[in-house]
Chains A and B, each alone.
Chain A
């Protein structure tokens, strides 16, 4: 009768119920009910794990009901709650454990999440696009190397929805004469969205496949375009495959390295004011805050301004953890908040490091005539 979720008891009892997390949670901001706040969710989980005969006597209805399940998935996985937590609870992991438990119990009721999970299993991408077309974005003018130093992992979004970004990175790598290749159909979805929605059944297989495919190329370096893929490979694959058999860079880190080594020299000034949106995966998730900023600031002519919420306290774009798929209006509202925040800095462009953030923010910006997004690679390429 008691609910038992492995590995969360100490955290749950440590929670002070102070509400610091509530004040920063984007989901709570949009939904406004205590049940949608991290604090409220922990309170209820504790009630569930404490269930006993007294609940019946006192007529306390504490149950794993639909409301509860939906709330558990109304989370963008942004990790802001963890950043401010009074008692250092690793909340990002905490939420994952709870979702995994719901998955194991067969309690995932969000159709959109199930659908994404099944599609990824079948098509190796969440868009149900043919897996063999994954490398079709590659234009004729780009040459791949047979003895690559670098594998470029462009991820599902750049492969099927934001091809122009992948193209830019590929051209840039060619331009600096870095022998590289892509995995094409051999690159499978990193599995981030499944991990973040608790649906972890085939993740091991996917992780092992991807790591092996990269290894097979003989390249010693992996450059990842998407902040979500990068964070997954860095933190989740590590748990599955142990030490990674390659050096891992997010594309912004790789650019930073190339600039530092003098292999990239910017020649065309860009006379624009820009701001930067920290992706939750790259920033709070993987701890990369400075690399993209350094790249932006090394471009001549650029005026860089920070948003009110930046770095560790950055605001989520609203897209993460299957939120766009399952709770579109919330994702849109959150993107709107972020674009407005960017607009208020006086910037003309929002620079991003994640195609998914880029997409979600840009959709809202276009619809409302607000400032647009641009990936850091695209910005750098313009200045070459």
Chain B
């Protein structure tokens, strides 16, 4: 049964015009998923197809749609580039998907105050390119910048390329305009300068995963484009030496733009698809991007070289480093070797980097997976791990059995003082474990801001209460363990070295 009656459909078309609303099943099907490839059977438990897809252009349109949704109890799911993989932009109870990609304009670039005002559906790549043409840059952006929207990254509480120097998505924001679940339009700051003191409303919506409101405008910080950007890469035969280098580097005064790493297996898979040289001795690659005045970079480059060499790193050619830098947007190039891939993402403290690598490798070996570890150092304190494993979803049982890897990786992160990144639909069951009593406050906030429970329901703070039983947590904890056990009984994946 559609949640959107014919009358409501008509009403909504009067808000946006007919050409920006679709209710046919062909188009709706296109909006029934995000990055994750899910089995059809998921549709037994969730209504992933929206009843309506609307493409708003203005905040007033969103506000009008929200008012109708609130009074009729229709779920509304905001959607940016749909490049997140935790089901955030995917309906679970049908309703309306708001595709925000048509709100993709740069409204203003204020060169005096170093801010830009943008609509939420612009991609980070597009924003960066436009700024660069004027001699400015954005501080940090997700490595999925080609597809990820400004609103999407803010809502996933993201860290990414440039976070080591410029911080996460929150540090890029000065102010936001948000349509609340009741349709009210508010501003979080309303000024072009930072907000000091009082409750920081920017923080409230940062990482809310589309469950507290819809961001319709963002004031971002911009920076003068640097004189030089110099990527440098170091090869290590042992990943422990690589993590040692990182730990030493985080204690220096040097603030590189970006630090990332890739392990031996990643390069092995690249070789399989014809994209890398034979690097037999490689344990892992450390990629560091330096940015600023050339003279300063020269100095930093030298200091880093000393540290890396002491830790048995081998400096790679400038050409190789440049190539690695260009490939920062292509972390899953290797997927073709699967052809399916499942990606996990967890944070741990820098001090646990080495141990986490060993533990992850043990898990990979135990589960007999074809997997690689990649990641980045997002600030002096934190390492983000993004291991992935390759499989073939056409061989269904083996594929589903391996899914437990992501859950187990999360457990490892907890053991090492970290946690999985993001909640969305699939990890909402983790919220209590992550925030303890803080979770109760989050729930209360959700109830106050979204009294009719229409704003992206069933996710983030709501995973524990829907239907009375914690579905995702149930699925993850019980189902995944069973799957892991099944996987254990199966023969090892093709191409896994013993």
Sample 11 A-B pairs with CB under 8 A, ordered by A number. Answer: A14-B335, A17-B33, A18-B35, A18-B146, A20-B329, A24-B146, A44-B26, A54-B40, A62-B29, A86-B333, A87-B335
Q: What 10 A-B pairs have minimum CB-CB distances, sorted nearest first?
A: A19-B147, A34-B30, A14-B339, A20-B146, A13-B339, A14-B336, A67-B26, A87-B336, A40-B30, A61-B25
Q: Shortest Cβ distance from A152 into chain B, in angstroms? A: 39
Distance, CA A44 to CA B41, complexed state (A)? 17
Q: In this assembly, does A84 line the interface, its C-beta being within 8 Å of a C-beta of chain B?
A: yes
Q: In this assembly, does A177 line the interface, its C-beta being within 8 Å of a C-beta of chain B?
A: no
Residues of B within 8 A of A11 (CB): 339
A10 in contact with B339 (CB, 8 Å): yes
Distance, CA A61 to CA B29, complexed state (A)? 9
Q: Which residue of A lies closest to B30 (CB)?
A: A34
Residues of B within 8 A of A17 (CB): 33-35, 37, 82
**Number of A-B residue pairs at CB separation under 8 A:** 104
B102 in contact with A33 (CB, 8 Å): no
A14 in contact with B133 (CB, 8 Å): no
Distance, CA A24 to CA B341, complexed state (A)? 24
Mask: chain A, 29-46; 1 = CB below 8 Å from B; 0 = not: 000111100001001100
Q: Which residue of B lies closest to A88 (CB)?
A: B336
Q: In this assembly, does B411 line the interface, its C-beta being within 8 Å of a C-beta of chain A?
A: no
Q: A60-B40, A87-B332, A308-B133 are in contact. Are A18 and B147 (CB under 8 A)?
A: yes
Q: Shortest Cβ distance from B461 into chain A, in angstroms? A: 26
B83 in contact with A35 (CB, 8 Å): no
Q: In this assembly, does A65 line the interface, its C-beta being within 8 Å of a C-beta of chain B?
A: yes
Q: Shortest Cβ distance from B301 into chain A, in angstroms? A: 30
B146 in contact with A32 (CB, 8 Å): no
Residues of B within 8 A of A35 (CB): 26-27, 30
The residue from A9, A22, A54, A68 contacting B41, defined by CB atoms under 8 A apart: A54
A20, A32, A50, A55 — most chain B CB neighbours (10 Å):
A20
B393 in contact with A16 (CB, 8 Å): no
Q: In this assembly, does A23 line the interface, its C-beta being within 8 Å of a C-beta of chain B?
A: yes
Q: A16-B341, A19-B81, A58-B40 are in contact. Are A33 and B22 (CB under 8 A)?
A: yes
Q: In this assembly, does A47 line the interface, its C-beta being within 8 Å of a C-beta of chain B?
A: yes
Interface size on A, residues (CB 8 A): 37
Distance, CA A89 to CA B339, complexed state (A)? 11
B101 in contact with A88 (CB, 8 Å): no
Q: Which residue of A lies closest to B101 (CB)?
A: A32
Task: State which residues 20-62 of B face A: CB under 8 Å.
Answer: 22, 24-27, 29-31, 33-35, 37, 40-41, 43-44, 53, 55
Q: Which residue of B lies closest to A33 (CB)?
A: B27
A16, A22, A24, A308 — most chain B CB neighbours (10 Å):
A16
B30 in contact with A43 (CB, 8 Å): yes
A19 in contact with B43 (CB, 8 Å): no
Distance, CA A55 to CA B41, complexed state (A)? 10
Query: Range of interface residues on chain B?
Result: 35 or more
Distance, CA A326 to CA B75, complexed state (A)? 38
Task: State which residues 330-350 of A face B: CB under 8 Å.
Answer: none
Q: Give B residues with C-beta under 8 Å from A.
A: 22, 24-27, 29-31, 33-35, 37, 40-41, 43-44, 53, 55, 81-83, 99, 101-102, 123, 125-126, 129, 133, 144, 146-147, 273, 275, 329-330, 332-333, 335-336, 338-341, 392-394
A16 in contact with B335 (CB, 8 Å): yes
Q: Give A residues with C-beta under 8 Å from B.
A: 9-11, 13-14, 16-20, 22-24, 32-35, 40, 43-44, 47, 50, 54-55, 58, 60-62, 65, 67-68, 84, 86-89, 308
B273 in contact with A88 (CB, 8 Å): yes
Q: Shortest Cβ distance from A303 into chain B, in angstroms? A: 19
The residue from B25, B43, B340 contacting A13, defined by CB atoms under 8 A apart: B340
Q: A32-B101, A34-B31 are in contact. Are A65 and B393 (CB under 8 A)?
A: no
B392 in contact with A23 (CB, 8 Å): no
B335 in contact with A65 (CB, 8 Å): no
Q: A13-B339, A23-B123, A55-B40 are in contact. Are A32 and B102 (CB under 8 A)?
A: yes
Q: A13-B340, A33-B22 are in contact. Are A18 and B43 (CB under 8 A)?
A: no
Distance, CA A65 to CA B27, complexed state (A)? 12
The residue from B24, B33, B123 contacting A67, defined by CB atoms under 8 A apart: B24
Q: Shortest Cβ distance from B89 into chain A, in angstroms? A: 11
Distance, CA A67 to CA B22, complexed state (A)? 13
Distance, CA A13 to CA B29, complexed state (A)? 18
A16 in contact with B30 (CB, 8 Å): no
A87 in contact with B392 (CB, 8 Å): no
Supplied contacts A13-B393, A34-B30, A67-B26, 18 more A-B pairs, CB within 8 Å? A13-B339, A14-B336, A14-B339, A18-B146, A19-B147, A22-B81, A23-B147, A32-B55, A33-B53, A34-B31, A35-B27, A43-B30, A54-B41, A60-B40, A86-B335, A87-B335, A87-B336, A88-B275
Q: A13-B393, A23-B123, A67-B24 are in contact. Are A34 and B333 (CB under 8 A)?
A: no
Residues of A within 8 A of B125 (CB): 23
Q: Shortest Cβ distance from A164 into chain B, in angstroms? A: 36
Residues of B within 8 A of A19 (CB): 81-83, 146-147
Distance, CA A287 to CA B83, complexed state (A)? 30
Residues of A within 8 A of B333 (CB): 86-88
B40, B102, B332 — most chain A CB neighbours (10 Å):
B40
Residues of B within 8 A of A16 (CB): 35, 332, 335, 341
Residues of A within 8 A of B40 (CB): 50, 54-55, 58, 60
The residue from A18, A44, A84, A308 contacting B29, defined by CB atoms under 8 A apart: A44
